[in-house]
Amino acid sequence: MEKLQLETLYYTMVLGRQFELAAKEHYMQGHISGFLHLDIGQEGLSVAAMQAFAHGDVFTTYREHVMALARGISAKSIMDELFGKATGVSGGRGGSMHLFDPSHFFYGGDAIVGGHIPNAVGCAYARKLQKADNGVMVVFGDGATNQGVFYESLNNAAAQKLPLIFLCENNEYAIGTHIGRVCPFTEMAKKAEPFMPTLSVDGMDAVAVYETVTEANDFIQKGHGPIFIEAHTCRFEGHSMSDANRYRSPQEMDICKDQDPIEKIKPLLDSQVEANLTEKAKQEVAEAVEFALKAPEPELSTLTDHIFCQGGCHHALS
Ligand SMILES: Cc1ncc(C[n+]2csc(CCOP(=O)(O)OP(=O)(O)O)c2C)c(N)n1
Ligand SMILES: [Mg+2]
């Protein structure tokens, strides 16, 4: 990986970590309401996947702040969205789980586990019909692979040879349920094997994720059809802010935190450059928080906007 790419990768990971720490703090202070799912520990995977797939459509789940940042959506507009402000990326109406920005080819954020997977299949079908240069990526957790629609999506994408990367973030938990309790095996790639080629990667190693997603992207670009990536990862926090994480032992958490993706990249950078990037990320997040605290709430008169189609509806995919 080139020096500049590595620095961007590192910067965005640290930006993501600082963003999440600030979001956690402001959730506890009551500035953010609703649900808040933190990506702390999984930033290497989120950032490297977006960096390696910079020119396609992305569909993802509710644990998406860091992916949205890596996609190029500003920290300010994401923080504003978390704070429910009119200047948020979704106008303050979506909140944490519904970051949506077609101008960055980023279609959420979805609260329904697995619900976005068939949407990505539909988008990939559209891109194929349009003979578009770029494909589609759909990111989901291990728990989502237990949904029936996941298999329908694998089947349909494979049958139609769609340009689609299925990226499974296997952190081994669906809220407090270990994958081993609800599944006969713990490798999610096995579920996709009858349908398409599969790749497995250490999701705590951002450089390895970057290389694997690049390989998958080359594959779909060549018209070979879909491909499945399983990235083994680990979240440092509870499932959401309302989960005390009591189902994982201190020993299990130590093993998890020893794999910190940010610490893994640090030695590859010049120490002064690293310190400067960290400082810059902290500054960017502090400015985003300051902005969000002062930003306006949506006007009451707009309460029913965006519910029904008004004055002609625009297709999100152009
Ligand atoms: C259809 C549906 N069922 C259940 C839920 C409740 N729920 C929210 S997150 C979650 C766990 C999903 O785990 P996973 O897909 O592994 O993602 P992770 O949170 O680990 O990133 C569940 C069961 C939901 N939101 N939608
Ligand atoms: Mg999971």
Tell me the per-residue pLDDT of 175-195, one tens digit each, with 9 for 90 and over: 999 999 999 999 999 999 999
Residue nearest to atom 8 of ligand 1 (CA): 113
Cis peptide before 109 (omega within 30 of 0): yes
d(CA 174, CA 113): 10
Cα(168) to centroid of ligand 1, in Å? 13
In whole numbers, what is the pLDDT of the chain averaged over residues? 96
d(CA 31, CA 258): 31
What pLDDT is stored for residue 308 in this prediction?
80
What pLDDT is stored for residue 305 in this prediction?
87
d(CA 117, CA 124): 11
What pLDDT is stored for residue 309 in this prediction?
74
Cα(173) to centroid of ligand 2, in Å? 4
Residue-range domain boundaries for the chain: 3-287
Using a pLDDT cut of 90, give the percent of the chain over it: 94
d(CA 287, CA 290): 5
- Residue 310 in this model has a pLDDT that exceeds 80: no
> Could you say which ligand is closest to the alpha carbon of residue 176?
1
Average pLDDT on 125-136 reads 96
Cα(113) to centroid of ligand 1, in Å? 5
Give residues (CB < 6 A) around ligand 1. Answer: 63, 111-113, 140-144, 169, 171, 173-175, 239
Average pLDDT on 151-155 reads 98
Partners of 227 in the beta sheet?
Answer: 165
Average pLDDT on 217-236 reads 98
- At residue 1 the predicted structure's pLDDT band, cuts being 50, 70 and 90, is confident
What pLDDT is stored for residue 314 in this prediction?
60
Cα(218) to centroid of ligand 1, in Å? 30
Cα(123) to centroid of ligand 2, in Å? 24
Atom in ligand 1 nearest the alpha carbon of residue 37: 19
> Could you say which ligand is closest to the alpha carbon of residue 143?
1
d(CA 199, CA 231): 8
Spatial contact of 208 and 202, defined as CB atoms under 8 Å apart: yes
Average pLDDT on 108-137 reads 96
CATH 3.40.50.970 at 3-287, yes or no:
yes
What's the predicted TM-score (pTM) here? Answer: 0.96
d(CA 163, CA 222): 9
Residue nearest to atom 3 of ligand 1 (CA): 113
